[in-house]
Amino acid sequence: MKKLLLITLSVLLLPACADKNQYEQAVLEQMQKEQDIKDYKIAPEHMTKCVIEQTAQKMPGIFPLDPKRLTAYRNYTKMLNLSNSPDPKKAIEELRNDFGSAQALSDAHTNYTESMVECYSAVISESEESAKEKK
């Protein structure tokens, strides 16, 4: 009985981890393209971690493996990969449907953008404090 429960739980958790990992990868790709990150010499991985933590705070779902949160990870990943779409208009319509409305899509984009701004501020402040401590 315990083995069956363990197998069932594993089968449910693997796709959940995949959704979050795909989101992390999409954010990392965005961070690697950002000119400000290069200019400020910020590690893209550090910024990625910050952005993921910030966006997750305002995503639907109570905990990381909540089905609503997993759907949000998938939708945010699609949103970040919009520029790679062969048909952006169709992709935007799909995103509106996936998020539930144009307003929800806009809110998600706002969440992502605000998270980036907050992370820039936090990471730059950290680096300035580190520089002061070294002196």
pLDDT score for 19:
83
Task: Print the domain residue range for 104.
Answer: 62-78+87-127
| Position 66 in a domain | yes
| Position 121 in a domain | yes
- How many separate domains does the chain show? 1
The pTM assigned to this predicted structure is 0.83
How many CA atoms within 13 Å lie on the side-chain side of 129?
A: 6
| Position 92 in a domain | yes
| Position 94 in a domain | yes
| Position 117 in a domain | yes
pLDDT score for 6:
43
Sign of the alpha-carbon dihedral angle for 119, 96, 25, 53? positive
The predicted-structure confidence for 23-81, as pLDDT tens digits, reads as follows: 999 999 999 999 999 998 899 999 999 999 999 999 998 887 788 999 999 999 999 99
